[in-house]
Chains A and B, each alone.
Chain A
């Protein structure tokens, strides 16, 4: 760790030349793989942002400049570079470094995160505070393409784009949420990525349009319209531009020099800016590059094989998924819904068995819950599984859309109770208290796998809103 040994704060980064930074990236990757293979954690997301993080801390001056990391699961590199490398081996452990940003841990962690899609809102608030206080600093939100599918991120883009506030949003696009990213925005980003192809045809079409003789205002108008239409088709980054952002990119996010160049450019521009950065999830560790979903968040593993150090046994999520497949075979009204957590909630087998009755709404708990309400209203039997702490996001949807209309939605609360290493943002300790007070709701808690199966069967036939809450992992295997 020749270079890393010399880096104790971002100031030290600024002394390095480009070759040293490339070497540093290599050292950081090794340290992260070594660390996470012991502690578990968000491996692939961090391997993807090594160069981006080096560039950010080279060009900006944190902590004066504020960097807000969306979800915050990709901050291991940031933590190492901001004076915490000696403690990185304690990552996610009791009394050790947290797996997410914590202001209490370091002044470089400008805003605490853990739940997705909050970064642009927080950053806009911090930028507006800066302006009112007449201070001068940059505020940067770093958000993944997955997190961008969350409603809050879009609400924030809508507000920020119209605000003329100096704000930099870095879209870290690796085409992946936990699994492959889903939805129209994801498709849109794919079109932007392949823009170069379109650019060729652009020239050809432009020439063709210009050749149309300019006779009569109607034709001119038509030509303008056509041109605009073509422009949109050809330069799809217009979504962000139309929202009021200056769009820069796309740029190779795993190339430090390129990222630094575009960040420098952004510093000189006014108003809200969006930089589109393309990175590779799992970069530099072949097994994670090939299985970015498995290594999004992993338990401790053997570096050579990628295999978990402790073999996985059945857990509540799997038991839920299996039983739901069995029930759905007998009842074609049953549909399953996830908010970007197909594997984590145990719905992988369901998705394979009933692709037409499985819906991944994206990181969009609110939308997913109200969509379930819509399905229930029309006679389906939607079963939705969301982690306890993420139900906090969808609380009004549970109240206003599902329970107030007394709709038969089965709401599974996975990761209920203490979850452990992910810490305060992910503990599932509040759901019983906040769900219990909602009228029309039934809440069950199984004591073992068999009870979970019985409760699920009961729930899909209950005909009104019902919650089943169960903990992470495998606390009890056999019937008790």
Chain B
């Protein structure tokens, strides 16, 4: 996921959109202080995880935003939807569920 995030970031930076990539080594405990600091400095937060949308790191970050009353930030989580995911190659499934670099890049561009 970090590799993917970096690819998205590179494409955005080329278009003068400033992006910082955070490698969340620890899913638990998450590095709250650091993340809160970044959230306060940003307009948009994208979370990306190779897991289900419910109860993942996207959820953790959203909780941080609300509990710490961080204003002026949008958040979008990229994860697999709340359903059982069928078979297919990893590439095909990533595309279908918009977990590929292109889909994420497009989303960020359109949000900005």
Contact = CB atoms under 8 A, between A and B. Distances in A.
Contacts of A435: 28
Interface string A307-343: 0000000000000000000000000000000000000
Contacts of A451: 25
Interface stretch (A236-244, A266-274, A390-398, A415-423): A415-423
A365 interface: no
Interface in B56-74: 56-57, 60
Contact of B52 (A433, A442, A445, A471): A433
Contacts of B6: 480
B54 to A, nearest CB: 6
A92 B87 contact: yes
Contact of B27 (A428, A444, A473): A444
Contacts of A96: 87
Interface in A96-118: 96, 98-99
B88 A436 contact: no
A424 B94 CA distance: 14
Contact of B93 (A94, A431, A446): A94
B102 interface: no
B18 interface: no
Contacts of A473: 90
A431 B28 contact: no
Contacts of B23: 447
B89 interface: yes
Contacts of B17: none
Interface residues of B, number: 33
A432 interface: yes
Nearest to A436: B28
Contacts of B96: 94
Contacts of A471: 50
B24 interface: yes
A99 B96 CA distance: 20
Contacts of A8: none
B25 A444 contact: yes
A427 B1 contact: no
A56 interface: no
**Binding site secondary structure of chain A:** loop
A420 B89 CA distance: 5
A354 B93 CA distance: 39
B2 interface: yes
Contacts of B24: 445
Interface string B25-58: 1111100000000000000000001111011110
Contact of A480 (B2, B26, B84): B2
Tell which of A93, A96, A429 has the most Cβ of chain B within 10 Å.
A429
Interface string A131-170: 0000000000000000000000000000000000000000
Given A444-B27, A475-B3, 19 more contacts: A93-B88, A93-B89, A96-B87, A98-B86, A417-B51, A418-B99, A420-B89, A420-B90, A421-B87, A423-B87, A427-B80, A428-B50, A428-B51, A429-B85, A432-B51, A432-B55, A444-B25, A472-B90, A480-B6
12 contacts: A416-B50, A417-B50, A419-B90, A420-B93, A429-B85, A430-B51, A432-B49, A432-B55, A442-B28, A443-B27, A445-B27, A447-B2
Interface of A: 92-96, 98-99, 416-424, 427-437, 441-448, 451, 455, 469, 471-473, 475-476, 480
CB-based closest 10 A-B pairs: A423-B87, A417-B50, A94-B88, A433-B55, A447-B2, A443-B27, A424-B84, A94-B92, A443-B28, A420-B90
